[in-house]
Amino acid sequence: MTEAQRIFSGIQPTGYIHLGNYLGAVRRWVDQQSEFDSFFCIVDLHAMTLPWDPKELQERSVATGAMLLACGIDPTQATLYLQSHVPAHSELAWVLSCIARMGELRRMVQFKEKSKGETESVGVGLFTYPVLQAADVLLYRAHGVPVGEDQRQHVELMRDIATRFNSQLGEVFVLPEAWIPAAGARIMSLDDPSSKMSKSANRPNSAILLEDKPEVIAKKIRSAVTDSGREVTASPDKPAVTNLLTIYSVLAGESIAAVQERFVGKGYGDLKVALADVVVAALSPLRERYEELMADPAETARLLAIGAARASEVAATTMADVRRAAGLVPPA
């Protein structure tokens, strides 16, 4: 039997997991975990790149673990853990920050967006976090990185850093590939279809959270902005309706054309009512499992510790090769 290819992906515990995270990443992790040697990481160190509340970070880290389990991540199949429990992530990030170049980090769109032009006063971590992200993936010598569209540039950067390390110091790293889904790779905000649905948007009606109750989901969808015109069709001049149709299509497992067909002669209001039903049907079982798991956070913490032990073993092997290649003397 050939060994399963390895995949790695992460999620920040910066807030509440939303439908964009689910469709762009988490749902696919669940589908892929039996086929690949899967590492799914709650990247708590990344959650420190903008000012944070320590108590909230602690709570959200375990709650994110519980939500991933509720979504169907199976700790007997996948390695699920907290990034800070495996110190090799930070160690490798330092080594790679000596390989990465200022110019390539400056080009990162997320840095430009999140620093909002305040490049002198934001934390250094916001600038260097793509290097930590490169370390996250390269540490496990993962082939595939199942992510949403927003992470494409960061995966390109990790390939560049890995290539440079391998050619300067010796072949240590596998070059990872971004695995971006054909549909659902960029779910947009409900209140602004020009910006992606995001945990850090801090606008209550912009994102559907996986833990939202049915009435909240229906209300958010009812208040979603729509476009001019009346026809329920996906097109570049109808970004809001296209977004709603995309969500419907991915969750219902039907093509956009088939979904459009359902709404011939109907209006945006009809689409919103039907979409709310589809979203509630998909998310209610997750929310119920999540509420059960949150009644016993110690159990989630225990499962995360088991994942960290497995991740540490794999990380140690890579770090031994990195140290050797970099010329760091092993402890006597």
- The reply to whether 177 sits near ligand AQP by the rule CB under 6 A is no
Q: Residues 55, 116, 196, 266: which is the catalytic one? A: 196
Contact 144, 40 (CB under 8 A): no
Task: Name 179's bridge partners.
Answer: 146
196 is known as an active-site residue:
yes
- The reply to whether 20 sits near ligand AQP by the rule CB under 6 A is yes
Q: Write the DSSP assignment of 213-231 as a string of letters.
A: -HHHHHHHHHT----SSS-
Q: How far is the CB of 8 from ligand AQP (least distance, A)?
A: 11
Q: Residues 55, 112, 114, 220: which is the catalytic one? A: 114
> Judged by CB under 6 A, which of 80, 178, 187, 279 binds ligand AQP?
187
The pairs formed by 196-203 with CB atoms below 8 angstroms and a separation of 24 or more are 196/20, 196/148, 196/150, 197/18, 197/19, 197/20, 198/18, 198/20, 199/12, 199/14, 199/15, 199/16, 199/17, 199/18, 199/21, 200/14, 200/15, 200/50
> Judged by CB under 6 A, which of 89, 143, 196, 238 binds ligand AQP?
196
Q: How far is the CB of 177 from ligand AQP (least distance, A)?
A: 14
Q: How far is the CB of 81 from ligand AQP (least distance, A)?
A: 15
158, 113, 168: which is closest to 137 by C-alpha? 158
- The tokens 């790679």 sit on which residue? 96
Q: How far is the CB of 24 from ligand AQP (least distance, A)?
A: 2
Taking CB under 6 A as the criterion, which residues in 225-284 touch ligand AQP? none
Please give the order of strands across the beta sheet that includes 144-146: 79-82, 37-42, 6-11, 144-146, 177-179
Report the residue number, 197 or 314, with the smaller CB distance to ligand AQP: 197
Name the maximum alpha-carbon separation found in the chain.
77
238 is known as an active-site residue:
no
199 is known as an active-site residue:
yes
- The reply to whether 186 sits near ligand AQP by the rule CB under 6 A is yes
Q: Residues 55, 112, 199, 213: which is the catalytic one? A: 199
Rounded distance, CA 81 to CA 307, Å? Answer: 5
Taking CB under 6 A as the criterion, which residues in 93-132 touch ligand AQP? 110
Q: How far is the CB of 114 from ligand AQP (least distance, A)?
A: 6
Which residue number is nearest to ligand AQP in terms of Cβ? 24
Rounded distance, CA 13 to CA 44, Å? Answer: 6
What is the three-class DSSP state of 196? Answer: strand
Q: Contact region for ligand AQP (CB under 6 A) — 13-21, 125-133, 162-170, 264-272? A: 13-21
| Residues found near ligand AQP in the complex (CB under 6 A) | 9, 11-12, 14, 20-21, 23-25, 110, 147-148, 150-151, 185-187, 196-200
Active site residues: 114, 196, 199
